[in-house]
Amino acid sequence: MRKALFLDRDGTLNQDPGYLGNPDQVILFPTVGESLSILKNEYDFTLIVVSNQSGVARGLISKEDVDKVNRRINELLENYNVKIDAFYYCTAHPDFNSKEECECRKPSPKMIFDAVKDFEIDLGSSYLIGDAKTDIQTAKNAGCKSILIKTGYGKESFNALLSENNLPNFVAENFKEACDYIINDISGV
């Protein structure tokens, strides 16, 4: 069984201009490439993006746009000798799609469970990093450790989670801090 790092995309790995469909607008946050390289190449994490992409249901971007942005992320990560192993995304939104079509939408753990089957992942030794309340709930629903990163919507999400007494396993200011937490956690520090 493998351990995985599940990652939200927009606001976590890269800047979120809102319904990102243009690969030329992909800007990775500082330390994302270096941190993912360490976790993949030194600690053998499988890297999997799980992302809601409701811009498709809203008619603002296409599935092809989402795929182009995903490819661009991996192109940028090549500079750090790392790549995302798989991208899972849900294009549905309850305002535009049926309940069944929305079953993949976070905070549902369906995308994670699909990845578990595809990659033989041990959720007990896996983590999810995200910037939204739904990411933290997704991790809890799936049974993996949750890390809220204070990029993207992270600061607002932290306040909401705090008021609900629903905190993640760890709160990180940036991606490197999240990476350091994971390394310390698996090392028993």
Active-site residue list: 8, 10
Q: How far apart are CA 127 and CA 169, in angstroms?
A: 10
The contacts found for 63-66 with CB under 8 angstroms, 24 or more apart, are: 63/91, 65/21, 65/22, 66/21, 66/91
HEC string of the chain equals CECEEEECCECCCECCCCCCCCHHHCCECCCHHHHHHHHHHCCCCEEEEEEECCCCCCCCCCHHHHHHHHHHHHHHHHHHCCCCCEEEEECCCCCCCCCCHHHHCCCCCHHHHHHHHHHCECHHHCEEEECCHHHHHHHHHHCCEEEEECCCCHHHHHHHHHHCCCCCCEEECCHHHHHHHHHHHHHCC
